[in-house]
Amino acid sequence: MAFRITLTEGIVGGFKPATIRRMISIADENGEVIVRSSTLKSRDDYNVMQGTLTSQQVGTLVNDLKVGLNDLPTEMTSGGQDIYGMDTSISFQSNDFEWRNGGSGGCTNEESEIQPTPVQKALFQELVQKILSISQQYAVQSQKLYEQFKMDKLFQWSVENSESSNETPQTLNNLDPEIIDHILGKSDAVRMKEIVEIVLDPKETVDSKENALDDLEMLVEQIDNANDIENMNLWPKILSFLSLPEASLRKHAIWVCGTAVQNNIRAQKAFTDKGGLKILMDILKDSHQDDEVRSKALYAISGTIKHNAPALAQFEKDGGYDVLLSLLATSDDLSILRKTVFLFNTLLIQDPTVATTQIKEKSINKQFINLLNKHGSGDEDLVDKIFRTFLAEFQHSLSLTEDEVNELKNILPVMKKKYGDNFLSSTEWAELESKIQ
């Protein structure tokens, strides 16, 4: 099972971007699960330790995280308030489950409408400790062996190239470039360029390219690295990956784009100017595209238009609302449906006048009600997102038809009884009920 778990400490920013202190990743790399812990304070303190996990250890951790995170809310909107108050984020990405608190650029002081309960905060803290414990236990073993191996080679080189007793000059043997990289460390810019070349290389396997893109996605979580995509003129090459024949590579490449533009005005502008938003829109319009690819495209579009008026204007001009309506009406993929509904919520926050008008004119509320009828009994997350979108919409306009009001009168009590205060407070339930009386 392909997955990546990332724990990041140091996600809260303000006037200045957040400063990451440590990052722990656990991911499947060429069939072996690697846990890697990187301290990212100052250059002198920079350190990377890694190790491997058994299938049993991985299975237990993945299952615990899926079950736990599925019951936890994330901030509204992504990258807003640090609702768990730990200055820490967890990102879980797999083929069948995605969860993340805190945007890739960290958290701001933007207050979130969604707040966890004390029990949910305690559960989040427990999950953080599980990941930290795994890192502390296993992200040391192979790194120590690796360090010893490199130092042995360095010592051997030093002896071979020291002055002899008769002071006869010797020809220095070349120091292994790998040792130089180990001592000084490759810069992130160099690593990013190398990753792009791996993906471009026809001799590399699909697995190698997927792993390379995973690494690139982690690198561009840091705002400076995301901005360097433009500085190094890498956007044209990365955008070309969105047309690769392998769906898995297209998905990973979109993931890179979506992470790079999160809460990053410079990256948003560069991505849009290079045609990235248009490519993503075309992907959504293509009904033959892989569902996972389209789901990732929604993630990247959300990040591109967030707090970005020019990109939002282009989205609206290019028929973005029609594309989203089509997804609601035709897709059976729950991940796509959840992200589409969430995107409507984002649009209502950013441009409520246009959003409420489009929702009314295109009968989008009817599609939301259809989804409640179809999936309401089995997908709590989708129900949560639909009701929160209704709440956001009702702050600006009540555009329900009489038939829609009557349908919601039947649906709302059933959903309230089933889910209670799992995601809506008593005040929010009361607000919804008052709007359909």
Give residue 170's identity as a one-letter amino acid code.
Answer: Q
For the packed helices 247-261 and 206-219, what is the interaxial angle rounded to 10 degrees?
A: 10
pLDDT digits (tens, 9 = 90+) for 56-92: 778 888 888 988 998 898 887 666 788 999 999 999 9
Residue type for position 2: A
pLDDT tens string 290-326: 999 999 999 999 999 988 999 999 999 999 999 999 9
- CA dihedral (227, 231, 232, 238) positive or negative: positive
Q: What's the first-to-final CA gap in the chain, in angstroms?
A: 48
pLDDT digits (tens, 9 = 90+) for 86-124: 999 999 987 778 888 887 666 777 777 788 888 899 999
- Residue 107 CA to residue 345 CA, distance in Å, equals 19
**Which stretches in the chain have pLDDT values below 70?**
1-2, 14-18, 29-31, 40-47, 77-79, 104-106, 140-186
